[in-house]
Amino acid sequence: MKNRIILFISLISLIFIFYFSLPNKEAKVVFCDVGQGDAILATYKNVQMLIDTGPDNKKVLECLSKHIPFWDKTIEVVVLTHGDSDHIGALNSLLGSYKINKFFANGSFDTSIEQNIYSQKIGQNDVISTNMFDFEVVNPPKNKEINEDNINSVAGYLIYKGSVEWKAFLSADIDKETEQKLVWQKILRQAQDGNGIDVLKVAHHGSENGTSEELLDFLKPKIAVISVGKNNRFDHPRKEVIERLDKRNIEIKRTDFDGEIVFKLN
């Protein structure tokens, strides 16, 4: 009898392991609730792209553990938009918990960081691809002339390559002037159907220096996501930004109100 019970438990364990080892066929994009910072996960069939890590508060690891199978300890692509601590502060925690196959960054990190990640430098017109997602870089320009982290932060389109295209614009911490240049210089492009992109990641957590009228009118986002901490000392998101979004009837989602924000794409 005892042997039968042991055999039964072993079979159940094997079934459990087999079930959770199957590839996850659900494509999704997750705006992790990391407080005052950015961390965005795009995942499909056990292949992940992570844009930024958020601050050093372990919250990105909590988010990843919900959306990556417990046995999958490899993240295929990590894009680091710039060197501010609210975007790369959890880098060491990430490296301690996951193997990262490829890092991409704007080439502005100091030597101490680069010795840990060996990132590939990216800029305007570069495309980073996984099995079902592309990240098309529109900023910074390859010949950037201004040495300023926010202006040179990596911004671009996150595109799901499913039967119906889904597109988000991830604006990192770029300012209004940079947004306007991207519009005026015809570097940005609209959604294929002409009805606007699906999601805009609001620049710099809702700072008044980002999310310009020109960008909103060109991209026509259906939803704006603001990655922001509760009761933050910067008073983000600013009233002016919320008013610009409301004026255009753009649905607003905020991590300080809604927690992590998940878009299921299948």
CATH number at residue 188: 3.60.15.10
Looking up tokens 């809604």 gives: 258
Q: Is residue 47 part of a domain?
A: yes
Q: Is residue 247 part of a domain?
A: yes
Give the number of other Cβ atoms within 10 Å of residue 209's Cβ: 18
Mean pLDDT for all residues in the chain: 90
Q: Is 16's pLDDT higher than 70?
A: no
Give the number of other Cβ atoms within 10 Å of residue 143's Cβ: 7
Q: Is residue 102 part of a domain?
A: yes
Q: pLDDT digit string (tens) for 194-230?
A: 679 999 999 999 999 999 999 999 999 999 999 999 9
Quick check: 98 and 73 in contact, CB under 8 A? yes
Q: Give the pLDDT of residue 9.
A: 60
Looking up tokens 């680091």 gives: 80
Q: pLDDT digit string (tens) for 152-195?
A: 999 999 999 988 889 999 999 999 999 999 999 999 987 666 67
Q: What percent of the chain has pLDDT over 70?
A: 89
Q: Give the pLDDT of residue 7.
A: 56
Residue 227 tokens, joined: 């990655």
Q: Is residue 14 part of a domain?
A: no
Q: pLDDT digit string (tens) for 110-163?
A: 888 888 889 999 999 999 999 999 999 999 998 876 678 899 999 999 999 988
pLDDT band at 6 (very low <50, low <70, confident <90, very high): low
23-27: average pLDDT? 73
Q: Is 20's pLDDT higher than 70?
A: no
The number of domains in the chain is 1
d(CA 102, CA 7): 42
Q: Is residue 67 part of a domain?
A: yes
97-101: average pLDDT? 97
Q: Is residue 2 part of a domain?
A: no
Q: Is residue 1 part of a domain?
A: no
Q: Is residue 3 part of a domain?
A: no
**Which of 40, 65, 5, 19 lies closest to 156 in space, CA to CA?**
40
Please give the residue range of the domain that contains residue 68. 22-264
Exposure of 168 by Cβ count < 10 A (0-12 exposed, 13-18 middle, 19+ buried)?
buried
Exposure of 80 by Cβ count < 10 A (0-12 exposed, 13-18 middle, 19+ buried)?
buried
